[in-house]
Amino acid sequence: MSVGILAHLLGKQPFKELAAKLAEYHFPYVQLALSKAIADVDFSLGKISPGLANEVGGAFADNRVRIAVLGCYASLIELDDESFRHNVDRFKEHLRNARHFGAPIVATEVGVPADRSNLPKYWERLNQALEELVEEAERWGVTIGLEAAQGHLIDSPETMAETIERFPSSCVGVLLDPCNMLNASNFDRHDEIIRTAFELFGSRIVSAHAKDVKREADGGGLTVTAAGLGELDYPLFWQLLEQHKPHGFVTLEQVTEEQCAAAARFVRESRAKARV
């Protein structure tokens, strides 16, 4: 079984050096957040072109590392018109050029509401953004990967399901991180939450993240750690992932460089057991 990594976890550096380093760790694919991972290129709005994308993507391909996902973590719920337009246009630019990087997916968390008493307006903004982005994704044949996260507008299996039901396009999918749906109040039923996620949108998962969580010693919260070092029911997660999306992309998150090899081995070996 294969496993990738969030490229910036190996440090922000020139793209040719980054590609070579990923190859040294034997990662066959990555999730690449351009501005977080690459030090020698300006990726600000308006700078990305097919030529630039081919140059970066080619360096990764030369090292036999595929770019599975482009990370474009931009809030899609901003109420300020200028910020909203900048973020949507930036995401569109990633969608237009993704194929030149060799990436089939552009992923994001959707944003944290600054005022939770005003949630209807944030949902209106998200719907407005996705209407534009889905049209752009369909034009270029690229998939949008939406990721739930605690504190964000989409923060649970239910809010994710409601969102993708409004946008049934085959160009809208889910980047599933089971830990992102968990908090101190619901961790004791995390098996139920994982099962619910697969029941609601298992067919629309396009990639997954692998990290882990464990209860803090005082019982007051959760600590996020590398995959295999916490309490997540990974046998259940792998079983359901392989059932719904066998051989799907899985990328490591929340690892130090020193933890990479052990975390990758944990994912490969434990995931392989789910296929026996």
Domain extent at residue 102:
4-274
Domain count, the chain: 1
Q: pLDDT by residue (tens digit) across 123-169? A: 999 999 999 999 999 999 999 999 999 999 999 999 999 999 999 99
* Mean pLDDT of all residues in 182-197: 95
* Mean pLDDT of all residues in 223-247: 96
* Mean pLDDT of all residues in 179-189: 94
Residue 250: which of 193, 206, 194 has the closest Cα? Answer: 206
Model confidence at 273, pLDDT cuts 50, 70, 90, reads: confident
Q: What is the CATH number of the domain that holds 9?
A: 3.20.20.150
What mean pLDDT is reported for the chain? 96
Kindly tell me the number of DSSP H helices and DSSP E strands found in the chain: 9, 10
Q: What is the DSSP letter of 14?
A: -
Cα 232 to Cα 148, 149, 229, 238, 275: the distances in Å are 17, 16, 9, 11, 19
Would you say the C-alpha torsion 69, 73, 78, 83 has a positive or negative sign? negative
First-to-final CA distance of the chain? 12
Q: List the beta bridge partners of residue 225.
A: 212
What are the DSSP calls for 165-206, one per residue?
HH---TTEEEEE-GGGG--TTTGGGHHHHHHHHHHHHGGGEE
Cβ atoms of 20 and 63 within 8 Å: the answer is: yes
Residue 268: which of 227, 233, 212, 229 has the closest Cα? Answer: 227
pLDDT reading at 221 higher than 90? no
For 213, phi then psi, to 5°, come to -135, 150
Beta strands 143-147 and 205-210, pairing class: unpaired
Identify the pLDDT of residue 218. Answer: 76
pLDDT reading at 179 higher than 70? yes
Identify the pLDDT of residue 23. Answer: 97
Model confidence at 76, pLDDT cuts 50, 70, 90, reads: very high
Distance CA 49, CA 41 (A): 12
